[in-house]
């Protein structure tokens, strides 16, 4: 238990902020969360279209064990707080008017489906690929995902200790795309598994092959949350409040207050000043570097690396028509993946032919259509330049036409929408998540060094900590939650060491 008089301020009620808050509160720290938006959740948010709430942020829930641990350490359980069901179909994948391919939670079913789709050798390639991604997962799970960010030096020592076999299993020195060539000859399959790099906003042509681990994470289980993903944010906030956390929405933190060398509180847009023993920043760490929390905050972290991807999203209500058999998660691939990523990362423009993700939120993983109009979220990747230039209306319209034409080619047709869709662009994401340019996953994971230069829980300012998807261990709901836990762990360790040094009297002075 920490010192009961310790007081923490958490800037931001995203997943990482909420998890750090409840982890600190359960250890007896007084916690106040300050969130600038009117509601908790951050990127996990809902929008209202025609009176219906649509998840407009994360839609794919994985790594169930993370939420299990968070809720159980808070004295409750995942099952008591949320209803989750494991999906049998992970996603349906389409390439124009050609046949579709489903990936399943069950390995043998996926091997069968891939064999029918692309031949027996590709099915067996997938079996080998799964064994390979399992090896990566085993190698990175404890030392990386569940531990404080290693430095480059300590990582070298750790990797050295793993021996040659361990080093090979991490597969950090070639690109994800290159590694896929070892398992799949069919270009469509390389594209399908290459897409996992975009789950952390990166390019398969630049990300290290280690990120193939994401395929394993999905195979371990994709879960459907009853009532929608936003229920997760609500549950985290509810449990945090039960533990005594105060959550104040509509409070924009404009300045980090530093006294002596330490973070000592914050100032709000209203002019109110709050003091604290420690501050957790759940916004993008780039906001500190860019001076958005005052000049002193700038020295908290080194310059952030290249930004990850942003997106353009359409949330809408419609009746789907056409022959395409919609399921919950659907991916429609572009013809030329190389060009798509050149547009995104080299030219910094919207892809001329984007890959499109469609989440049919009123369907489960079966094919049965609900009666009447359904809720959809449609997403294409976009460059994170929302702070430099807003996309023009005609650029957005062009992108929409390209995206919805691709769906039509695959047999998914939407009639003109009865109510206007809610369209979110990189500029809008940048407005909601300052200093990101609209990047949704912090820095891109490009190059083998990227995991070691990501911001970690501790900053250069004592008493100032980071939690969230832009910090270690990475983006996505479960990873942001893990980051919140690591942040709380660092706080507790530091408080314990400070109180130990306060209490210890040693002969001969300090």
Ligand X SMILES: Cc1cc2nc3c(=O)[nH]c(=O)nc-3n(C[C@H](O)[C@H](O)[C@H](O)COP(=O)(O)OP(=O)(O)OC[C@H]3O[C@@H](n4cnc5c(N)ncnc54)[C@H](O)[C@@H]3O)c2cc1C
Residues at the contact surface with ligand X, assessed by CB under 6 A: 11-17, 34-37, 42-44, 57-60, 252-253, 282-283, 287, 311, 313, 379, 433-434, 440-441, 468-470, 475-477, 480
Smallest distance from ligand X to CB 480, Å: 4
Smallest distance from ligand X to CB 54, Å: 11
Smallest distance from ligand X to CB 43, Å: 3
What HEC string does 22-74 produce? Answer: HHHHCCCCEEEEEECCCCCCCCCCEEEECCEEEECCCCCECCHHHHHHHHHHC
Between CA 9 and CA 42 the distance in angstroms is 17
Q: Please report how the helices 107-118 and 187-194 are oriented relative to each other, as an axis angle in degrees rounded to 10.
A: 140
Between CA 255 and CA 7 the distance in angstroms is 18
Smallest distance from ligand X to CB 94, Å: 18
Between CA 423 and CA 402 the distance in angstroms is 15
E-strand spans in 218-355?
223-225, 246-249, 253-259, 262-268, 273-275, 278-281, 310-318, 329-332
Smallest distance from ligand X to CB 509, Å: 42
**Environment class of 380 (CB within 10 Å of its CB; exposed 0-12, middle 13-18, buried 19+):** buried
Please say which residue, 57 or 451, places its beta carbon nearer to ligand X.
Answer: 57
DSSP codes of every residue in 81-96: H--EEE-SEEEEEE-T
Please say which residue, 118 or 256, places its beta carbon nearer to ligand X.
Answer: 256
Smallest distance from ligand X to CB 493, Å: 21
Smallest distance from ligand X to CB 45, Å: 8
Smallest distance from ligand X to CB 77, Å: 21
- From the centroid of its chain, how far is CA 281? 17
Residues contacting residue 382 through CB under 8 Å, at least 6 positions apart: 309, 310, 311, 312, 344, 350, 391, 399, 425, 426, 438
Between CA 454 and CA 153 the distance in angstroms is 14
Between CA 35 and CA 486 the distance in angstroms is 21
> Interior CA angle at 341 toward 339 and 345, to 5°?
125
Smallest distance from ligand X to CB 344, Å: 15
Smallest distance from ligand X to CB 68, Å: 15
Closest-CA residue to 279 (of 466, 92, 28): 466
Q: Which residue is nearest to ligand X (CB)?
A: 14
Please say which residue, 127 or 298, places its beta carbon nearer to ligand X.
Answer: 298
Tokens, residue 468? 């969230």
Please say which residue, 71 or 433, places its beta carbon nearer to ligand X.
Answer: 433
Closest-CA residue to 439 (of 391, 395, 383, 483): 383
């Amino acid at each position: 238990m920490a010192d009961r008089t310790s007081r923490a301020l958490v800037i931001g009620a995203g997943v990482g902020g909420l998890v750090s808050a409840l982890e600190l509160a359960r250890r007896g720290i007084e916690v106040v969360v300050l969130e600038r938006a009117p509601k908790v959740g951050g990127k996990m948010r809902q929008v209202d279209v025609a009176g219906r709430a649509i998840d407009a942020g994360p839609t794919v829930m994985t790594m169930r064990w993370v939420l299990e641990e968070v809720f159980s350490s808070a004295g409750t359980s995942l099952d008591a707080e949320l209803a989750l069901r494991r999906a049998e179909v992970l996603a349906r994948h389409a390439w124009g008017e050609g046949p579709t391919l489903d990936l399943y939670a069950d390995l043998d079913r996926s091997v069968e489906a891939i064999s029918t789709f692309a031949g027996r050798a590709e099915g067996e390639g997938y079996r080998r690929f799964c064994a390979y991604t399992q090896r990566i997962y085993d190698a990175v799970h404890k030392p990386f995902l569940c531990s404080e960010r290693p430095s480059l030096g300590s990582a070298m020592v750790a990797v050295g200790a793993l021996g040659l076999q361990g080093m090979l299993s991490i597969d950090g020195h070639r690109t994800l795309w290159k590694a896929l060539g070892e398992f799949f000859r069919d270009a469509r399959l390389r594209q399908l598994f290459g897409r996992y790099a975009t789950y952390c906003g990166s390019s398969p042509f630049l990300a290290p092959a280690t990120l193939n681990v994401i395929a394993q994470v999905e195979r371990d289980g994709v879960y459907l949350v009853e009532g929608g993903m936003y229920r997760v944010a609500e549950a985290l906030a509810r449990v945090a409040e039960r533990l005594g956390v105060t959550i104040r929405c509509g409070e924009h933190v404009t300045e980090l207050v530093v006294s002596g060398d330490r973070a000592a509180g914050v100032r709000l847009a209203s002019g109110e000043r709050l003091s604290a023993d420690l501050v957790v920043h759940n916004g993008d760490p780039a906001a500190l570097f860019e001076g958005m929390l005052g000049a002193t905050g700038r020295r908290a972290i080194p310059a952030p690396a290249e930004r990850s991807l942003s997106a353009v999203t359409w949330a809408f209500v419609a009746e789907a028509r056409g022959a395409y058999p919609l399921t919950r998660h659907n991916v429609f691939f572009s013809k030329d993946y190389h060009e798509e990523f050149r547009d995104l990362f080299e030219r910094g423009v919207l892809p001329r032919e984007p890959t499109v993700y469609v989440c049919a939120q009123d369907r489960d993983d079966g094919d049965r259509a609900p009666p009447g109009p359904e809720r959809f979220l449609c997403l294409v990747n976009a460059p994170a330049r929302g702070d430099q230039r807003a996309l023009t209306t005609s650029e957005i319209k062009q992108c929409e036409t390209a995206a919805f034409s691709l769906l039509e080619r695959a047999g998914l047709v939407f009639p003109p929408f009865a109510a206007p869709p809610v369209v979110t662009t990189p500029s809008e994401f940048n407005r909601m998540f300052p200093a990101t340019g609209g990047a949704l996953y912090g820095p891109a994971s490009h190059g083998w060094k990227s995991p070691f230069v990501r911001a970690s829980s501790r900053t250069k300012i004592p008493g100032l900590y980071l939690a969230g998807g832009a910090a270690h261990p990475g983006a996505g709901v479960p990873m942001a939650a893990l980051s919140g836990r690591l942040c709380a762990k660092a706080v507790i360790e530091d408080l314990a060491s400070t109180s130990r040094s306060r209490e210890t009297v040693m002969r001969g002075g300090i």
